[in-house]
Amino acid sequence: MSNSHDHTPAHVHEHDHSHDGGGGGRGHSHAPANFNKAFAIGIALNIGFVIIEAFYGWRINSLALLADAGHNLSDVAGLLLAWGGTLAVKLLPNARHTYGFKRATILAAFANALLLLVAMGALAWEAVGRLSAPQAELQAQGVTIMVVAGIGILVNTATALLFMRGGDSDLNIRGAFLHMAADALVSAGVVVAGALTLWMGWVWLDPVVSLLIAGVIVWGTWDLFKQSLHLLFDGVPDSVDPAAVRTLLLGLPGVADVHDLHVWAMGTSHIALTAHLVTDTADTGALLHEAEEELHEHFEIRHVTLQLETLAYAQSCALRPGLGCQG
């Protein structure tokens, strides 16, 4: 989109590569993959496992299995959150939401991380309580606990694998993957603790293993929590170096200066940029096209909005550094 204004020499140009396949003519696209089938399968598997775990927990009066069933129910909520975020991205912008609903994926990633941290806090609290009052009856329930936890390993690992390929490029999908991988680790720890408890009679091992697993999961989830919170406050995505972006724009033919440069995440897989370029070039179309191509090629920035200014206009631009706004 291009707009010129008669009362100023400014030229505003906006382009979103996410709608045209990206890359302009470079022939490659990095559009987010469709994970609808993965979410549907993962949710169905986990609902089935919650029912099995809750049934056997009630049948043998195992608080451990009942508590883990409640924890796995939070997995279903986490997957629903992540799925809702990916579906919201597809909602078209409107007059009241001009950027659409891409930010829902960041909110989902944040909620998923927060949910996992709270779940691990609850698990650690329960484990500390059991350290002071070990349950001797766990030894007799060892086989049942191991079998049910073994099913949990299969279910959670299978679900995590469904999201593995999208974890590097989409923070929301990474959140779903971490959530399920963490639960596979929890189930594995329960199996090991159950086996040793059955063999050695170490009923204290169950809460100790739970604490260790909770610590490992919190360590792995903390980065997801920080990144999603950073993006919620319009922080520059970790994949983009702002100084390198400025250097790239300054290196474009005819560009004398760059100010009011902003880079932020519209969603977990959509990066946007706005900037004012000071230039005296007559071929503005070529400059804009090259800027879009370079930003997409080097930084995966899909939504680019540039304002071109003459040197004379830049001296009075309200957003120029030193005139009341940070550039």
Per-residue pLDDT, 29: 40
What would the pLDDT profile of 32-45 be if each residue is shown by its tens digit? 457 888 888 888 99
pLDDT higher than threshold 50 for residue 291: yes
| Contact in structure between 26 and 297 (CB atoms under 8 Å) | yes
- List the alpha helices (DSSP H) in 60-170: 63-89, 104-132, 142-163
Q: In what order do the strands lie in the sheet with 255-267?
A: 2-4, 11-16, 301-309, 270-279, 255-267
- Domains in the chain, please, with CATH? 2-30+236-314 (3.30.70.1350), 36-232 (1.20.1510.10)
Per-residue pLDDT, 13: 56
Per-residue pLDDT, 134: 62
Angle at Cα 86 formed by Cα 81 and Cα 89, nearest 5°? 125
The CA-based diameter of the chain, rounded to the nearest angstrom, is: 85
What would the pLDDT profile of 139-186 be if each residue is shown by its tens digit? 556 777 788 888 988 998 998 888 887 656 677 788 788 878 887 887
Residue length of the chain: 327
Percent of the chain with pLDDT over 70: 79
The β-bridge partners of 257 are 278
Tokens describing residue 154: 């299969």
What would the pLDDT profile of 203-227 be if each residue is shown by its tens digit? 677 677 777 777 877 887 788 889 8
Per-residue pLDDT, 21: 40
What would the pLDDT profile of 43-58 be if each residue is shown by its tens digit? 899 899 889 888 887 7
Per-residue pLDDT, 170: 72
Rounded-to-integer distance, Cα 6 and Cα 140, Å: 84
| Contact in structure between 109 and 86 (CB atoms under 8 Å) | no
- Give 164's DSSP letter: G
Helix, strand and coil percent figures for the chain, each rounded to 5: 60, 15, 25
Residues ≥6 apart with Cβ < 8 Å to 189: 209, 210, 212, 213
